[in-house]
Amino acid sequence: MLSGNIRSKGPHEVHMEEGPIGRTLLLFAVPILISQLLQELYGIADTLVVGRFIGGAALAATGIGHMPMSVIINFLIGFSSGLSVITSHLFGAREYDRLRRTIRTVNLLSCLIGLAIMVVGIIFAPAFLNALHCPADIMDLSVLYLRIRLLSMAAQLIYNIDSLILRSLGDTVSPMLAFFASAVLNIVLDLVFVAGFGWGLAGAAAATVIAQVFLAAMMIFRLGRLNEAYRPGPGTRLLTLREFRETMRIGLPSGFQAFFMSVSSLIVQTVINGFGSPAVAGMTLYARLEGFLYYPAFAYGIALTSFVGQNLGAGRIDRVKKSIRISIVTMILVVLPLSLILIRLSPAFTGLFTDDAAILANAQRAILINFTMYTFYAVNQCLLGTVKGLGNTLWPMITTLVSYALFRGLWCKLMVHVFPTMDTVYWSYNISFLIMMAMLLPVFFRMLRSAQGPKNQTGGTSPDAPPAERAG
């Protein structure tokens, strides 16, 4: 549990409108970062098992087989990120009845959507992979992997939505502990199913499905232990139609933001697939090492969204502005040196997964080009987290559409014909970071200048705000 001057409302939920800003952000972000690093380490372990015990073809199949599913998952994760803006505002403003009803409504919605996606995805898996120009030599493996992984779709949605809701309430500890237990289970099952029973890629996929169902069960259990003021239960009413429309207005743009990111990845993936299986497997290895840069930036983006949302709900705009400066400086000081270290260590790291010279060459070239400018991505995450925390989820969606989906797609489709190398693909990422930053900064500064904390239903500021923040 976080401690100090931060007031807790339940086992781990934390109000973040008081206490030292830097320390509060750090204590809030670190469990998120640990969760993401655990996810990356689990992914590395999973890739090691697949690469060493099954082979390069299976390694490529896991990369491309996950792509269609990730589009839908990322959309709903993005949607839940938008929901976390709402729940953080409600938590900061102490509007607990609506908070409770929001949690119950979105959980019911996630179950229904997850089951529907599972059925449709299993039926149309070959068509999805054909649309991605999946190499023929790994098509059967990719279809098998995708269909098994789809069995856990509802469980994945429940975990991701509930973990973001808990984080918006200041609880980053519970998702971290739950994911740690799930990651250990996943690695053990990987070794048992693949190395022990010899089930191949199907065994690796089944291990992930079981671990994700276990993870979802832990999240449901955690929601049942929230403070009774905002704990959803069987008798909790759902949101009204008007409230649901308002929730969709905030949540859907964040969903489409993540969707556009996934679409851009799919478009780029079709280009990468044209360079053959070594290029596909090389990008799979690149993604494993990228996580050590991506996740610190991602953690601070989530931390800022919740921190800004809670403080906006409580009317603490002064803390909002200070938190942004602290976060941007922190990201630069962390990501820039770390990226240089990872570039230096990349040959040894990628060599752990395979001995294939072509795969290693592709992975190391991607790392060299993209990591040199990854700091811009990290700063963008701070800008995105702030803008979303202030209640604007539409502009992040637009910037993602333009800089990721449109730019990367057009660049890769057009420029590869002029410069037919994988370097052309790698540079699309770096340039898109700069385009996004140029689009975000004007709106970021304008929203900061006009930011005002919302008033409660009686027309005053939050009754729990410090005396200097109260009206009159």
pLDDT tens across 157-193, in order?
888 888 888 887 878 788 888 988 988 898 899 889 9
Nearest to 17 by CA among 93, 124, 106, 119: 93
The arithmetic mean of pLDDT across residues 430-441, rounded, is 94
Residue 351 lies in a domain: yes
DSSP, collapsed to helix, strand or coil, labels residue 371 as helix
Q: Indicate if the pLDDT at residue 118 is higher than 70.
A: yes
Residue 292 lies in a domain: yes
Q: What is the pLDDT confidence band of residue 469, given thresholds at 50, 70 and 90?
A: very low
Residue 472 lies in a domain: no
Residue pair 99/280 in contact by the 8 Å Cβ criterion = no
Q: How many CB atoms lie within 10 A of CB 72?
A: 22
Residue 469 lies in a domain: no
> What is the rounded distance in angstroms from the CA atom of residue 469 to the CA atom of residue 289?
45
- Residue 83 sits at φ, ψ, to 5 deg, of -60, -35
Residue pair 212/152 in contact by the 8 Å Cβ criterion = yes
Nearest to 200 by CA among 53, 368, 418: 53
Residue 462 lies in a domain: no
Residue 467 lies in a domain: no
What is the pTM (predicted TM-score) of this model?
0.67
Residue 463 lies in a domain: no
Q: Positive or negative, the Cα torsion across 127, 128, 133, 139?
A: negative
pLDDT tens profile 311-353: 887 777 888 888 888 888 988 998 999 999 999 988 888 888 7
Which helix H or strand E contains 244, and what residues bound it? helix 241-273
Number of domains in the chain: 1
Residue 359 lies in a domain: yes
**Structural domain for 29, as ranges:** 16-454
